Structure 1
Amino acid sequence: MARYADDAKEQVRDAVDMIDLVGTKVDLRRAGANRYEGLCPFHDERTPSFGIDPVKKVYHCFGCQASGDCFTWAQEMEGLGFVEAMEWLADRYGVTLERESEDPKEAERRKHRERLLELLERTAAFYVRFLWESTEAAPARQYLVDRGLDEAILREFRVGYSPSAWDKVLMASRKGGFSNRDLYDAGLAQKAKGEGRIYDRFRGRIMFPLADIRGRVLGFGARALRDNQQPKYLNTSENDIFHKGRQLFAADLARAHAARAGEVIVAEGYTDVIALHQAGLRNTVATMGTAMTPEQVGELTRLAPRALLALDADAAGQEAMIRAAKVARGKKLELRVVELPPGRDPADLAAEAGAAEIRRLVEASVPFVKFRVQRALATGDLATAEGKDAVLGELRPVFAEIPASVLREELVSDVADRLDIAETLAAQLLGRGGTAPAPTSRPEPQAAEPDVAQRAAVQLSAAEQQERGFLALCVAVPSAGAKALAALDLDHDLTSDASRAAARWLADHLDDPERELEAQEERLQVLVRDICFRAPKGDDLMPEAVEAERLQLALARAERELVAARRAHTGVDDAQRRRRTAQEQYNAALDRVLEAGAPR
């Protein structure tokens, strides 16, 4: 392994801006002369227990005990080894690393890799110039315009065009001092069959650079323009640098946006991604038309905890979503589906319906299990008993993975409605699932398994989990809960109809939430019992915490409104002021919680 000079680590550490580094993943606020606080990225929490010291350049979480320095942070957040983390930080903060000693063979491999990366960068720049400056590339420019893509966004993605001549890149690279072997190893040239000569691999195609998370070009995806030009898409062949199954197109450009949004949008093709970025959805990447691999799932989890699948609405796209869910099973990645109109891909929609419609569809994404249920109901034979049985058979393994939750109850109701059968029968035929009770009886809350609420929360969005936590705290501290519920703006502070229904019920029944509950619809019963189960117990519960939780919901609302204003390009200043006010109110409430909990 390469060895850097003894002071290399300290040079990098000195150059790192810890607030800038951690701030790409955590919304930090000043909490002292040498301390900034925020919500811990290593575990779920509603009040900040995570902080950094920007002088010592260390972080620590009092909740989960995660701690380390700037190098540990890069390793954890970017999935890098220590040396890679140091190189990544050096690259980010402009430090030139000097190597002290290195195995000769490894030094040779490293230098060869660096030479190939330089060649790929030069070639990407050549393709860009050829696209915008050559007469030959005019049809390519027109195609991209017809797809609704602007020159500015195409230049940002370094989209180019490869000349149709068989040796343009070959000759230009030779003049730059690169050998035939360099071109072949970089995947830019291939050998003629039965001959020793080589020629350009990419000719007469639109070129999309495929970069790593640091933005270094590793290879290319190339799209044909002519109908008789096969294959339609041609990629760099697998080599020591490029591995398609590990690649996510535009991960380098989407990384920071995905971290801030807490979610990453996954499209299928290059122009889909570019169109979505142009529409303001800068947290979009692509799998480049391949079935999602475990390596790509790993890359997605490093980008964000939630992935929104915006794949084509045709049968192939829907099957790709199902395969993606199988690969992601067991990983810390929540999948949702962006439902696109049939026959339209994201780039088509952006060009025809506009950016606002694309953003609306993304914001209306549904949990993956809901998509599976809707798909089975849409494609199944619902006219005959045999067809209904087949649909139920297809859905049974889907429901087996859904724990007891309001979402499960809603989906059972949807199935019953579409199959025209009783809900109790649908629940029985679909099976009990994770921890769902038998359809003929309702267990008392105290009989529930200890982790029922935790497993049910897996199916909820982060906002819904936060709302459930607030309502549970209202139940735990009813005197303060009544005031907080009265001050709540139900229509705007809460994000789901289920949370609003529960809040209305609790506002009138906080002294005994389960009183008269049996007379209500089953969905509300399940929801209220879940909230009561979540309610913390103990004599040390503070009324101040209830108000802080309410103000955190108000802050989340202000942040949603700011995001919407930025996307709509209107009212941003007012939204920013509301967000600042909400942040100040929440910070003050949090200080009151900390003061109340301080030892006397």
Structure 2
Amino acid sequence: MTGLIRNEDIQAVRERARIADVIGEYVTLRNSGGGNLKGLCPFHDEKTPSFSVSPGRGFFYCFGCAESGDVISFIQKIDHVGFTEAVEQLASRAGIQLRYEQGAARPERRTGQRARLIEANKAAVEFYREQLAAPGPAEVARAFLAQRGFDQQSALAYSCGFAPDAWDALTRHLRQAGFAEQELVTVGLSRRSARGTLIDRFRKRLLWPIFDRHGDPIGFGARRLFDDDPSEAKYLNTSETPLYKKSTVLFGIDKARRDIARNRQVVVVEGYTDVMACHLAGIPTAVASCGTAFGSEHISVIRQLLMDSDVFRGEVIFVFDGDEAGQKAALKAFSDDQKFTAQTFVAVEGDGRDPCELRQDSGDAAVRDLIARRTPLVEFAIASKLKLHNLDTVEGRVHALEETVPLVAQIKDVAIRGEYARRLAGLVGIDDPNRVVAQVRAWKPDQSKALRTPARQQVAEATAEQPSMPMPKRTDPRLRAERESLKLAMQWPQLAGPTFDATQADAFGHPAYAALRESIAAAGGVVSATDVTDWISRVCAAATGPNASLIRTLATELSVEPPNTPKDPDHRYVTSVIAALQMPAVHGKISEVKSKLQRINPLEDTATYNRIFGELVALEQLARALREQSAGGI
């Protein structure tokens, strides 16, 4: 096999592709002390941030699901690509020219599949943009944009394009550019006709490229313009591809993600023109789902950007049309509301106009006013349900309560829940609000739907059949010195140095800690560490046997976990930790020596008794010194 990337170039990628910047494109990170950052884990659903990133050491670790690794493995996991492609992707972002074994030049066909597909989409974006400026049918597309208030500059800003009136114009263009037929089919730009020939996916349609969060084109949305279009669908989107997963894609996320994190707000609209209208009107946090309804995976993406947690709360504002479909969409959004910790709102224009139409008719200020007049989603949901019942009859009031009490009962904030229960009583016409409050308190959700398996239980179940030693508990006070000393060895090797290496393996009582101590020794010992990131990688690589995966996970976890000291460790702290680590073993030896002395008659074997008694004195002196050294430590 040719084309292996040189090790020194891989190391350069690790050093120059800053892990906080890379992960920050997917997850909003905030300072957690000790030089570390935290956010909501992108690999499992959680309410409280447990995902830790250590920029100084180049590693991440999730204390909820145990996912861990460096910047390269993060890209592998998040983008579902291989090691080589992850390195190439990061090298491209960092401006690093990779060199490959068996030749200094980059092999022409070594680029990973993801990079090739993105390059094909980039070429398609440029092709379609040029076609939008061409005479002929493209004039209809330009008129469509102009009628909705988007000038040429706006079209360029969103890379709008036009698919020409030809069966294979794009396909021929990309084939001439060096892309293979299979690549064009895989990325969704071309398809096979009934005759088996390769033709374009889109024809005679206005196009919006869809970008991922770091600005790479991954698909297209296409609007019908002509009556003779063979497809009746108003909108066509790229089909599912290795790049484009419609359940996770949000149009406008590339432009909005930084404002979402900065403003702690996201505005969810229904279409491409609505996103453009909001952005141009001064609502830069607007996004829209593409080719599918807004769902749970979209929620996960937004929560990571908002850092939607019990600690950091923001706003999610759903903007819907005022028609019946919009009402249903709002109620559907309320069912998803429980997945957010953020406050959720709905903004609906009374006359049914969407943001694009509102901006076109009334200007930018009207769009901003629509968002400013947002209504709490629960309030909107209650009002929508009450409209369906005749509250002038007993039966109507009873049925109205049956549908609205569950809505109120699901409000996360207890204080707000009580206020809405009292308000509901007034809206329905119940004289005694305490009756409704009692109903709300007594309501119980369907237990079969409410039960969710905790992330750590999922991890345990997934690994139950694997040969594994038990994972130590982080908070076990009996193992505090063992854990703290290993943290020092992983995070501050130049400080821990020979002091740690001098400790014996029997100082570690937990088998996992002892195994990690062996991996550290196998990696050359702490004194051999020069670069922290490289050192952590070496220790992980030194883990072998059936428990290697667990040891690597533990090593990464201890590489990002803050020390038990309010400031960075110093030599005095290292000395106190190592002393505390050694004390149990010394106390054990003291007990053994005392037991031996009890079995010896000093009158019959004076020499042996005096020798062992001397050992006891020395051990007790050592124990006393260790106690003094450990004082004020962990």
Output the TM-score relative to the length of structure 1.
Answer: 0.60
In structure 1, what residue type is equivalent to 2:189?
A: L
Amino acid at match of 1:278: L
Structure 1 position 308 matched with structure 2 position 310: no
Aligned-pair distance for 1:113? 4.4
CA contact (8 A) 2:346 2:376 kept: yes
The secondary structure found in structure 2 opposite 1:215 is coil
Corresponding residue for residue 384 of structure 1: 393
Partner secondary structure for residue 402 of structure 1: coil
- Are the aligned partners of 2:347 and 2:370 in contact in 1 as well (CA < 8 Å)? yes
1:5 aligns with 2:14: no
Query: Superposition pairs for residues 191-210 of structure 1, below 5 Å?
Result: 191-193=192-194, 195-210=195-210
Instruction: Report the equivalent of 1:358.
Output: 367
Unaligned runs of 5+ in 2: 103-107, 309-314, 446-634
Q: What are the equivalent positions in structure 2 for 1:80-95 lying under 5 Å apart?
A: 89-95=90-96
- Counterparts in 2 of 1:13 and 1:240: CA distance versus 1, 3 Å: closer
Provide the residue aligned with 2:125 in structure 1. 124
The reply to whether residue 347 of structure 1 matches residue 349 of structure 2 is no
Match of 1:424 in 2: 434
Distance 2:113 2:437 in 1: 62
Q: Which runs of 5+ in 1 are unaligned?
A: 102-106, 436-600
SS in 2 for 1:158: coil
Aligned to 1:257: 259
Call closer, same or farther: CA 1:122–1:301 in 2, change over 3 Å: same
Check whether the contact 1:377–1:415 (CA below 8 A) recurs between aligned residues. Answer: no
State how far apart, in whole Å, the 1-side matches of 2:87 and 2:110 are. 19
Shift of 1:91: 4.1
Please show how residues 78-477 of structure 1 align to structure 2 within 5 Å: 89-98=90-99, 111-193=112-194, 195-227=195-227, 229=229, 230-288=232-290, 290-304=292-306, 305=308, 306-327=315-336, 329-330=338-339, 335-403=344-412, 405-422=414-431, 423-432=433-442
8 Å contact kept, 1:388–1:419: yes
The one-letter amino acid paired with 1:348 is: E
Whether contact under 8 Å (1:221, 1:236) holds in the other structure is yes
Greater relative contact order structure (CA < 8 Å, 6+ sep): 2
* CA distance in 1: counterparts of 2:245 and 2:67, whole angstroms: 33
Q: Is the Cα–Cα contact under 8 Å of residues 260 and 266 in structure 2 kept in the other structure? A: yes
Per the alignment, residue 544 of structure 2 pairs with none
| TM-aligned CA distance change 1:72 to 1:391, over 3 Å | farther
Structure 1 pair 123/67, CA: closer, same or farther in 2 (3 Å)?
A: closer
Per-residue Cα deviation, 1:146-172 (whole angstroms, up to 9, x for no partner): 111232232122110111122221332
User: Which residue identity is paired with 2:255?
Assistant: L
> Aligned-pair distance for 1:210?
1.9
Cα deviations across residues 523-578 of structure 1 (Å, max 9, x unaligned)? xxxxxxxxxxxxxxxxxxxxxxxxxxxxxxxxxxxxxxxxxxxxxxxxxxxxxxxx
CA distance in 2, matches of 1:218, 1:242: 6
Q: How far apart are residue 144 of structure 1 and its match? A: 0.6
Cα separation, partners in 2 of 1:67 and 1:92, compared to 1, 3 Å: same
Letter in 1 for 2:199: Y
1:181 counterpart letter in structure 2: Q
What is the CA–CA distance in structure 2 between the aligned matches of 1:365 and 1:278, rounded to whole Å? Answer: 19
**Paired residues of 2:121 and 2:218 also in contact (CA < 8 A):** yes
Which range is displaced more, 244-253 or 85-94?
85-94
Deviation of 1:85 (Å): 7.0
CA offsets 1:295-331 (integer angstroms, 9 cap, x no match): 3222222222253222323222232333344456446
3-state DSSP of counterpart to 1:231: coil
Q: 1:75 to 1:176 in 2, by over 3 A?
A: closer
**SS where residue 165 of structure 2 aligns?**
coil
CA–CA distance in 1 between the matches of 2:72 and 2:373? 37
Change (3 A) 1:287 1:192: same
C-alpha spacing 1:133/1:115, structure 2 compared with 1 (3 Å): same
Provide closer, same or farther for how the CA distance between residues 408 and 293 of structure 1 changes in structure 2, counting only shifts above 3 A.
Answer: closer
Query: CA shift at 1:5, angstroms?
Result: 3.2
Q: Is the 8 A contact 1:266 1:286 kept in 2?
A: yes
Tell me the percent identity: 31
- CA distance in 2 between partners of 1:9 and 1:177 (Å): 28
Task: Give 1:130 shift.
Answer: 1.0
C-alpha deviation, 1:351, in angstroms:
2.1
Q: Is the 8 A contact 1:291 1:324 kept in 2?
A: no
SS in structure 1 at match of 2:368: helix
Q: Deviations over 1:486-521 (max 9, x none)?
A: xxxxxxxxxxxxxxxxxxxxxxxxxxxxxxxxxxxx
Residue 184 of structure 1 deviates from its aligned partner by 2.6
Determine if contact 2:221/2:238 at 8 Å carries over to the other structure.
yes
CA shift for structure 1 position 222:
0.4
The one-letter code sitting in structure 2 at the alignment partner of 1:217 is: P
User: For structure 1, which segment, 249-258 or 397-406, has the greater mean C-alpha deviation from structure 2 after superposition?
Assistant: 397-406
Q: Secondary structure at the match of 1:222?
A: strand
Bigger Rg, structure 1 or 2: 2
Residue identity in the other structure for 1:218: I
> Does the aligned pair in 2 maintain the 1:402–1:434 contact within 8 Å?
no
Distance in 2 between residues matched to 1:430 and 1:178, nearest whole Å: 61
**Cα gap change, 1:190 to 1:309, in 2 (>3 Å):** same
Q: Specify the code of the residue in structure 2 equivalent to 1:238.
A: E
Letter in 2 for 1:223: R
Letter in 2 for 1:175: Q
Within 1, Cα distance between the matches of 2:193 and 2:82?
Answer: 42
Three-state SS of the structure 2 residue aligned to 1:207 is strand
Q: Distance in 2 between matches of 1:381 and 1:276?
A: 38
Do the aligned partners of residues 113 and 27 (structure 1) sit closer, same or farther apart at CA in structure 2, a change above 3 Å counting?
closer
Could you tell me how far apart the structure 2 residues matched to 1:20 and 1:184 are?
33
Instruction: Say if 2:224 and 2:235, in contact at 8 Å, map to a contact too.
Output: yes
Shift of 1:392: 0.9
Equivalent position SS for 1:244: coil
Q: For residues 580-599 of structure 1, what are the structure 2 equivalents within 5 Å? A: none
SS in 1 for 2:222: strand
- CA gap of 1:200–1:79, structure 2 versus 1, over 3 A, is closer
For residues 92-140 of structure 1, the C-alpha deviation after alignment (integer angstroms, 9 at most, x for no partner) is: 4333445669xxxxx9896454333322211111111111233421121
Secondary structure, aligned partner of 1:202:
coil
Counterparts in 2 of 1:38 and 1:44: CA distance versus 1, 3 Å: farther
Say if 1:373 and 1:411, in contact at 8 Å, map to a contact too: no
User: 1:232 offset after TM fit, Å?
Assistant: 1.1
One-letter amino acid matched to 1:388: R
